[in-house]
Amino acid sequence: MVTITVNEHIQLRSYTADDAAMLFAAVNNSRPHLIQWLEWVRHTTREEHSLRYIKDTQHQAQMQESLSLGIFYDDKIIGGVGMHQWNHSVKKAQIGYWIAKEYEGKGIVTVCLKHFSQFLFDKVGLNKIEIHFSAANMRSGKVAERLGGKIEGIIRQSVLRNGVPEDVAIAGILKSEWKGGSN
């Protein structure tokens, strides 16, 4: 179980099975907001899907394949951060994130990712973090920029978003360049 305290209101922590209903509600209540960028939201249509996701993330964390944490604001799930595509030999991984519509634009994702990235560099021992995001998602681009990420390339028509091929931008952050983000 991983817990990272961000501030007096926000905590990042591993999901437990007891979080399934709250996780599903957070996703479901922000479905129109999230579905435009995150394909997995289409497949999260019942609380059982959230419970299966939680169990999968627990197994993946135990196997050191990935790490998924909820963003808890005063003990309520309002989003999530995660590390996946963990390459132990190169010491790099991708990070991803989402936030409920009502909490967007408040700087929560950026501050959570600063703490999460610090944890990944210091405790997990990563040398590089990558953020892969839709090139059309300007907000994610700004998050990567605030973390100090440098755009390393665009992979053309690499993913489907709403059934349409779309470009993916890749931003990288090296441990040697990490300054805790610029804001």
> What is the model's pLDDT at position 39?
82
Residues of the chain with confidence (pLDDT) below 70: 181-183
118 within some domain: yes
Indicate which CATH number applies to the domain containing 30: 3.40.630.30
How confident is the model at residue 36, as a pLDDT? 82
pLDDT value at position 183? Answer: 47
Other residues' Cβ atoms within 10 Å of the Cβ of residue 137: 18
Indicate whether 144 belongs to any domain. yes
pLDDT of residue 159: 86
**Assigned domain for 183 exists:** no
Q: What are the angstrom distances between the C-alpha of 97 and each of 49, 71, 89, 90, 176?
A: 18, 9, 24, 22, 23
What range does the domain containing 58 cover? 3-177
Cα–Cα distance between 89 and 91 in angstroms, integer?
5
Residue 182 in domain: no
pLDDT at 171: 97
pLDDT of residue 42: 84
Within a domain: 113: yes
Identify the pLDDT of residue 181.
Answer: 63
Q: Report residue 165 as tokens.
A: 């091929």
Please indicate, yes or no, whether the overall pTM of this predicted structure exceeds 0.85: yes
pLDDT digits (tens, 9 = 90+) for 138-171: 989 999 999 999 999 999 999 887 788 999 999 9
d(CA 50, CA 165): 27
pLDDT value at residue 169: 96
* Domains contained in the chain, number: 1
Taking every pair of Cα atoms in the chain, the longest distance, rounded to a whole number of angstroms, is 42
